[in-house]
Structure 1
Amino acid sequence: MQILVINAGSSSMKYQLIETDDKTVLAKGLAERIGIAGSRVKHQFTKNGASIEKVVEQDLPNHNVAFEIITQLLTDKEDAVIASPEAITAVGHRIVHGGEKFSETQVITPEVKETIRALIPLAPLHNPANLIGVEAAEKFFPNAVQVAVFDTAFHQTLPEHAFRYAIPEKFYAEEKIRVYGFHGTSHKYVYNEAKKYLKNEKLKAITIHLGNGSSMTAIDENGHSIDTSLGFGPLCGLIMGTRSGDIDPSVIFHMLEQLNMPLEKIKNVLNKESGMLGLAGSSDARDVAARYNEGDPNAALTFEMYGYRIRKYIGAYMAALNGVDALIFTAGLGENSILTRRYACKNLEGLGIELDEELNVDNNHADTPVEIQTPSGKVKILIVPTNEEWQIAKEVAELVAKA
């Protein structure tokens, strides 16, 4: 089954064409700067065993034009990976917010689209772009089944005592203000990969997704998310590339009332000027690591704070799970940052968590699941590369097969 996976943003669109029978990525690419000067589509595919990249430098005024070019690239006479748009069985769409309505993958109907549209106030930057991607796909792949895979769906198993905030009930009952969590597709994928790797069907795990946006999830022995660090929006929890993570709300009141900062400025500071960028001057952990190795005290403090926040969540989630079998590191920093994993596991021997530093170094950039704990460590420490596109394709294929 050939499935096109779409991740549409406000000015970009990532895509992968996946053959689900053998997990092959037939083509992938990125349309970027949609609606902005300097737009282009980068398209990669394999031909005669060689990886080839094509770049189309062209004005992309909207997502429909981007989709038209992507379709042309996929069906190009010389380098076609599909004979025609009809070859694609289904299109899987990453939809950021499904609210409380969607706890599993859904075939996109007019009613589903209307619900996604109604949830725009909960994800004003993402759901509108996701819908644009859906409508463009409907136009260019009219015979394909359109399917929504929601970032929030995996976390719909959170118990009420974990997803409710201690504010007046009307804010939940009427406005649906609660913990939703994000990165659910990634957390679900790496948990299941770890379960297969460890041959443990009753795995209790803490998944640690560390990218420019980061989150952690406590997953019980039934594979259910029971707590997660991102909440109503993507700002709380861990320190991130440009986001502050957890902060005392009194700081916001102080900025507003004593420093006379407008709300929009405060929001910009916490979302776009904080995190690693605010502490070390760069949102890229590779830059911060280079400064760390040069002895920069701000870089050292950044990794200490970054790791300390992760360790606090590890402790909390071990309590929530009543013990844990495995820590699972994934995503950009989780898979590729020696320093991040080192500081995230620092001084946790009392909890049975012992990082083997040699394995931590040797297995950086792992492309398959790998263990990096010491022989005496009671808790498994794994690096598991994430693959959200494959998880989306898998869920789409399973849903289509049932239909």
Structure 2
Amino acid sequence: MQVLVLNSGSSSLKFQLFHMPDAHILCSGLIERIGLNDSIFKFKTEKDTIKITQSIPNHKVGLEILSNQLLNKDTGIIKSANDIHIVGHRVVQGGSYFDKTTEITPIVKEKIKELFSLAPLHNPANFEGIEVAETVFPKAKQVAVFDTAFHQTIPEHAHKYAIANEFLTDHDIRLYGFHGTSHKYISEKAIDFLDKENSKIISIHLGNGCSITAIENGESIDHSMGLTPLDGLIMGTRSGDIDPSVIFHFAKKLDYTLEDINTLLHKKSGMLGLTGYSDLRDIQAEADKGNKECQLALHMNAYRIKKYIGSYTAILNGLDAIIFTAGIGENSPEMRQHVCQNLDYLGIILDEEKNQIRPNKLTVISTEKSKVKILVIPTNEELEIAKQAVNLFKN
């Protein structure tokens, strides 16, 4: 069985084609910097590695480039669209409708569309992936794996907002949590490594979108993102935590429309708003040159993460490990160092030499004296999605 997995982020599209159930990777790749003139398409098989820089204005164009490459007679990996048996899609927001992996039907698609407003950078891109895949691979089963599913274990006292009860009971307004597939995958790896009957873990997913999760005995018990992926940590273009009154100020004093405010907070804030750059690699390079705005933005980013580490350590009543994952978490020793500085009171002590690596497997980067293990674990949301998609049809 061949399973193609599409993982659409806010400005990226990761993909892998697996032979299942042995999880052999037939091809993999990434489209990054979507929406910019210098977007990058990477495609890798056992024989070829292709890298193209071009303008990819949106996810639909990116998916069309991918489908053409998969079917390329010289460097592609499949001879016919019918070679794909399942297409697994990461879908960010499942709302109260979906708490598990689901085969995509017209009704499921309508529900995903209804949730666009709760994940405006993601669900539309996820939906485009579904629409294109249905056209290119008409005989494949289409499966949705929801980011929100892993966080269904968050207790009511943590997911409920302090507003009138009917907003939860009648309108499903609550904390949902996101990046669940990634947090689930890496926390299971960490639990196996720790080999403890009871575990207390903080997982930190740092990419263009960023989130942090408190995990007790394998279950999510709190998470930085809320009703939408806008809340929490500072991100590439998203503000993260902000006083809601700022929105009223924008509207009343600056004459911003609701659409203006939505665009500002989702697409023009975060690291982009602070520095003019959304890609951490660009920001780090500028900071190294002495750019004060970039230096401050990096400090603010790490400071916000530290605040969550402290609060989650409190609700867990202890801590066994913290995990760094995703594009920034796995590949930025500088950001990991910023985050871990001055956390020795919590028993978190970074080994600076070990921290310099960019590992391709679970790696400990804490010192021997550190009471808390600091782990870097490469996430593999695509493999997790493939497994869940195949399991859906086992019975």
Would you call these one fold, judging by a TM-score over 0.5? yes
**Residue from 389, 393, 398 that aligns with 2:386:** 393
Contact 2:11 2:33 in 1 (8 A): yes
- Tell whether 2:251 aligns with 1:256: yes
Instruction: Give 1:13 deviation, angstroms.
Output: 5.9
Q: Could you tell me which residue of structure 2 aligns to residue 318 of structure 1?
A: 313
Deviates more, 1:242-251 or 1:329-338: 242-251
Q: Could you tell me which residue of structure 2 aligns to residue 370 of structure 1?
A: 363
Please list, as runs of the form range in 1=range in 2, the aligned pairs for 1:3-402 lying within 5 A after superposition: 3-7=3-7, 14-29=14-29, 42=41, 44-46=43-45, 49-53=46-50, 70-71=66-67, 73-200=69-196, 202-221=198-217, 223-361=218-356, 363=357, 365-400=358-393, 402=394
Distance 1:51 1:352, change over 3 A: same
Instruction: Give 1:379 deviation, angstroms.
Output: 0.5
Q: Which runs of 5+ in 2 are unaligned?
A: none
Distance 1:83 1:60, change over 3 A: farther
Q: Deviations over 1:90-116 (max 9, x none)?
A: 111111211122111112234433332
Question: Paired residues, what number?
Answer: 395
Deviates more, 1:238-247 or 1:199-208: 199-208
Q: Deviations over 1:248-295 (max 9, x none)?
A: 222222233233333333333322332222333322222322333334
2 CA distance for matches of 1:214 and 1:93? 20
Q: Which runs of 5+ in 1 are unaligned?
A: none
1 CA distance for matches of 2:196 and 2:247? 44
Equivalent position SS for 2:313: helix
Instruction: Give 1:330 deviation, angstroms.
Output: 0.7
Deviates more, 1:133-142 or 1:168-177: 133-142
Instruction: For 2:43, give the aligned amino acid.
Output: Q
Distance 1:168 1:358, change over 3 A: same
TM-score (norm 1): 0.86
2 CA distance for matches of 1:66 and 1:308? 35
1 CA distance for matches of 2:55 and 2:334? 40
Q: Deviations over 1:203-228 (max 9, x none)?
A: 3211101111100011111x111111
Equivalent position SS for 1:50: coil
1 CA distance for matches of 2:264 and 2:57? 31
Equivalent position SS for 2:353: helix
Instruction: Give 1:164 deviation, angstroms.
Output: 0.8
Once the two structures are aligned, what percentage of the paired residues are identical? 53
Equivalent position SS for 1:167: coil
Deviates more, 1:2-11 or 1:161-170: 2-11
2 CA distance for matches of 1:287 and 1:43? 19
Distance 1:59 1:228, change over 3 A: closer
Distance 1:119 1:204, change over 3 A: same
Instruction: Give 1:6 deviation, angstroms.
Output: 2.1
